[in-house]
């Protein structure tokens, strides 16, 4: 039998201050941006070159992938290394923070599977 934890008491919820709420919102918006999780997962699975990342993510454009990689680099989740060779190679990788974010997202994915979030989202999609 599944046990469900009781919701936090209002006293526990009030212990979360405004700064923590802002930080949570910013983190959730970053992690929830379209393609972010797919890019991080591709890197976690070993893709290093732009072409490898692109090939592993169905539907993302070159331009959007390049922009998102730059954003993730600025956020400190992805590293970009220039390999001096002929031709020059660019390699991408996860920073420790990027790897930590993948680890944090895994329970959310498990929750979504258990809760039927996927089915609920597809039911809200308009029919073709």
For residue 82, give the 3-state DSSP assignment.
Answer: strand
Whether 99 is covered by a domain: the verdict is yes
- 76 vs 117: which has the higher pLDDT: 76
Per residue in 9-60, pLDDT tens?
555 556 777 888 888 888 888 888 899 999 999 999 999 999 999 999 999 9
For residue 18, is it within any domain? Answer: no
Tokens of 101: 């974010």
Instruction: Return the structure tokens found at 124.
Output: 């809200």
Residue 25 lies in a domain: no
**Residue at 43 is within a domain:** yes
Work out the average pLDDT over 93-106.
Answer: 93
Q: Considering the domain boundaries, does residue 41 fall inside one?
A: yes
Q: Please report whether residue 13 resides in a domain.
A: no
Tally of structural domains, the chain: 1
Is 80 contained in some domain?
Answer: yes
* % the chain with pLDDT above 70: 79
Other CB atoms within 10 Å distance of the CB of residue 103: 10
The one-character DSSP state at 86 is: S
pLDDT at 1: 47
What domain range includes position 106?
33-117
Terminal Cα-to-Cα distance of the chain (whole angstroms): 40
Residue 74 lies in a domain: yes
Give the CATH number for residue 98: 1.10.10.10
What's the confidence (pLDDT) of residue 12? 59
Name the pTM for this structure.
0.72
């Amino acid at each position: 039998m599944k046990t469900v934890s009781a919701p936090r008491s209002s006293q526990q919820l009030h212990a979360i201050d405004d700064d923590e709420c802002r930080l949570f919102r910013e983190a959730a918006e970053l992690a929830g941006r379209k393609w972010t999780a797919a890019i991080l997962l591709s890197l976690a699975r070993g893709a290093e070159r732009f072409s490898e990342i692109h090939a592993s993510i169905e539907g993302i454009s070159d331009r959007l992938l390049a922009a998102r990689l730059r954003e993730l680099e600025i956020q400190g989740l992805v590293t970009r290394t220039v390999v001096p060779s002929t031709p020059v190679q660019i390699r991408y990788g996860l920073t420790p923070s990027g790897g930590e974010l993948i680890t944090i997202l895994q329970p959310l994915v498990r929750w979504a599977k258990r809760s039927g979030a996927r089915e609920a989202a597809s039911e809200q999609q308009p029919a073709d």
